[in-house]
């Protein structure tokens, strides 16, 4: 079995963690142990950091250490911003479990809402003045400021409308791309991935304004949109194309570790063996992302090297933490089933017969459980085989190569015979002048 030797590259990781905590570099965020909430949250910024923490809290047991830690961090992060509604939600979830310091701070809420009213009034006055003067750039900036204001206060629908309104006042390709990125950001948070796809397409229509970082962001957004639509192969292809320029420049949406995790699992579930080697294992850019999540890198290499027990062990250890991911949790079961089925199919391909006892040992399962899985794959025509349930042996239904070769030779002979007869008939027609000649025009 061919086994590609892995080469480590720390260049991208140095860039990603240049401004971060040095200890994070050598500590995987996703592991078989309990999720390190603090390390996980440090990968993100803005509203997605808060939303992810609240999602983790909602998925954990009440009063668990992880839940309380996630709520505490979310509460502290919200107080740095201006979203009073989200603050109330977090305080309601905490419900006194973190002590009096983490309750509903009425004075903070009143101050935030008062400043919000003042800020909104100021923005409205400025925008009205810009409209009166008919200065396109000022109007664009006015709507953009309104979009930022609404987004900061959690009014995502109004934020989206304000960002989109800047489209009529864009004068350069860069302005259009900025509008698209803002619309994509809000659409991802709202879960409107049809809008995400639409604005990715609009941004790509202005290639002169696309630098490598923006291209990487658009590919990440496209990967998320395909993942949401359960188009796992398309999601893998987009995420595998993300360049190292991404670094931590899109932390308000996705982290480099997510690119490795989402892309690696989607590729493993949908790519054939050749694609897995060429587009994942031998992909130097993606290998840099995989270095950030060693477990994903190792399980991909184990799968390609037919070390299925080790691969499935890694998957089993990762599952609990992957179920806490806001974008991946709905797809974990499907991806895991697809990966396991591919492993079962790939295991049987080289053999004429397989001892189910040995196969069950390789997959660390019972013979009866394995037999049911194989029966389902055979029924779905994914494995061409039959099972001897008494002797616990799987017999492959390989084509009779000798008979197939004989049939091909016979067909080739028949075709040659037909062609020779056709040539002889044509030659005789020409010899005896039975062919129609072109009449001459006088």
Confidence (pTM): 0.79
**Domain membership flag for residue 5:** no
**Domain membership flag for residue 185:** no
**Domain membership flag for residue 230:** no
Q: Do residues 48 and 93 both lie within one domain? A: yes
Give the pLDDT of residue 142: 93
Contact partners, residue 98, CB within 8 Å, separation at least 6: 68, 71, 72, 75
Mean pLDDT, rounded, for 417-442: 77
Give the pLDDT of residue 404: 67
Q: Do residues 429 and 373 both lie within one domain? A: no
Give the pLDDT of residue 380: 82
Asked if pLDDT for residue 47 goes beyond 80, the answer is yes
Q: Which of 57, 88, 104 is the last residue of a domain?
A: 104
Q: Do residues 424 and 362 both lie within one domain? A: no
Asked if pLDDT for residue 30 goes beyond 70, the answer is no
Give the pLDDT of residue 25: 36
Lowest pLDDT segment from 6-10, 231-235, 286-290: 6-10
Q: Which of 73, 104, 135 is the last residue of a domain?
A: 104
Q: Do residues 414 and 367 both lie within one domain? A: no
Other beta carbons within 10 Å of 135: 14
Asked if pLDDT for residue 359 goes beyond 50, the answer is yes
Mean pLDDT, rounded, for 257-271: 95
Number of structural domains (the chain) is 3
Q: Do residues 418 and 381 both lie within one domain? A: no
Give the pLDDT of residue 228: 95
Asked if pLDDT for residue 6 goes beyond 50, the answer is no
> CA–CA separation, 267 vs 436, rounded Å?
62
Q: Do residues 81 and 49 both lie within one domain? A: yes
Domain extent for 365:
353-396
Q: Which of 75, 104, 133 is the last residue of a domain?
A: 104
In the chain, the percentage of residues whose pLDDT exceeds 70 is 89
Give the pLDDT of residue 403: 66
**Domain membership flag for residue 315:** no
**Domain membership flag for residue 297:** no
**Local confidence band at 4 (pLDDT 50, 70, 90 cut-offs):** very low
**Domain membership flag for residue 46:** yes
Asked if pLDDT for residue 2 goes beyond 50, the answer is no
Lowest pLDDT segment from 6-20, 246-260, 341-355: 6-20
Closest CA to 260 of 285, 225, 227, 278: 285
Give the pLDDT of residue 236: 96
**Local confidence band at 125 (pLDDT 50, 70, 90 cut-offs):** very high
Q: Do residues 36 and 100 both lie within one domain? A: yes
Give the pLDDT of residue 43: 94
**Domain membership flag for residue 320:** no
| Selected residue with higher pLDDT from 138 and 353 | 138
Q: Do residues 39 and 98 both lie within one domain? A: yes
Give the pLDDT of residue 5: 38
Q: Do residues 363 and 422 both lie within one domain? A: no
Q: Strands 385-388 and 353-355: what pairing?
A: unpaired
**Local confidence band at 33 (pLDDT 50, 70, 90 cut-offs):** low
Closest CA to 81 of 57, 43, 53, 50: 50
Lowest pLDDT segment from 10-24, 68-82, 87-101, 156-170: 10-24
Mean pLDDT, rounded, for 76-101: 90
What pLDDT, in 10s, does the model give residues 369-421?
888 888 888 888 888 888 888 888 888 765 455 666 778 888 898 988 998 89
What pLDDT, in 10s, does the model give residues 187-244?
999 999 999 999 999 999 998 889 999 999 999 999 999 999 999 999 999 999 999 9
Q: Do residues 50 and 92 both lie within one domain? A: yes
**Domain membership flag for residue 427:** yes
Asked if pLDDT for residue 1 goes beyond 70, the answer is no
Mean pLDDT, rounded, for 92-113: 90
Q: Do residues 359 and 421 both lie within one domain? A: no
Q: Do residues 78 and 54 both lie within one domain? A: yes
Give the pLDDT of residue 436: 66
Closest CA to 252 of 77, 116, 102: 77
| Selected residue with higher pLDDT from 26 and 354 | 354
Give the pLDDT of residue 197: 95
């Amino acid at each position: 079995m061919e086994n590609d030797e892995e080469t480590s590259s720390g260049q991208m990781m140095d860039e990603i963690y240049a401004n971060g905590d040095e200890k994070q570099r050598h500590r995987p965020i996703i592991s078989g142990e309990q999720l390190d909430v603090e390390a996980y949250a440090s990968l993100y910024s803005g509203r997605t950091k808060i939303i992810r923490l609240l999602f983790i809290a909602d998925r954990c047991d009440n009063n668990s250490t992880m839940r309380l830690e996630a709520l505490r961090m979310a509460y502290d992060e919200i107080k740095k911003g201006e979203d009073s509604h989200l603050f109330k939600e977090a305080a309601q979830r905490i419900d006194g479990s973190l002590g009096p310091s983490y309750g509903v701070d009425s004075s903070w809420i009143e101050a935030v809402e008062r400043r919000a009213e003042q800020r909104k009034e100021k923005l409205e006055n400025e925008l009205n003045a810009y409209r009166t003067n008919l200065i396109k750039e000022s109007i664009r900036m006015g709507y953009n400021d309104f979009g930022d204001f609404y987004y900061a206060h959690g009014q995502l629908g109004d934020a989206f409308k304000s960002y989109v309104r800047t489209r009529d006042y864009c004068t350069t390709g860069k302005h259009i791309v900025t509008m698209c990125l803002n619309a994509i950001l809000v659409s991802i948070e709202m879960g409107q991935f049809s809008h995400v796809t639409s604005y990715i397409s609009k941004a790509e229509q202005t290639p002169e304004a696309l630098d490598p970082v923006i291209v990487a962001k658009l590919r990440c957004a496209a990967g998320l949109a395909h993942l949401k639509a359960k188009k796992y192969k398309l999601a893998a292809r987009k995420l595998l194309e993300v360049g190292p320029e991404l670094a931590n420049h899109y932390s308000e949406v996705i982290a480099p570790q997510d690119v490795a995790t989402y892309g690696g699992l989607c590729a493993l579930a949908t790519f054939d063996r050749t694609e897995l080697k060429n587009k994942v294992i031998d992909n130097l850019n993606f290998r840099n992302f995989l270095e950030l999540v060693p477990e994903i890198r190792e399980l991909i290499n184990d799968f390609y090297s037919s070390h299925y027990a080790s691969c499935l062990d890694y998957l089993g250890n990762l599952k609990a933490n992957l179920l806490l991911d806001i974008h991946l949790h709905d797809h974990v079961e499907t991806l895991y089933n697809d990966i396991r089925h591919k492993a079962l199919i790939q295991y049987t391909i080289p053999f004429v017969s397989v001892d189910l006892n040995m196969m069950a040992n390789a997959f660390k399962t019972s013979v009866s459980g394995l037999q049911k899985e194989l029966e389902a794959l055979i029924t779905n025509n994914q494995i061409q085989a039959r099972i001897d349930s008494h002797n616990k042996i799987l017999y492959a239904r390989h084509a009779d190569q000798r008979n197939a070769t004989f049939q091909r030779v016979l067909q080739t002979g028949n075709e040659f015979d037909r062609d020779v007869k056709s040539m002889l008939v044509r030659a005789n027609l020409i010899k005896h002048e039975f062919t129609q000649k072109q009449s001459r025009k006088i």
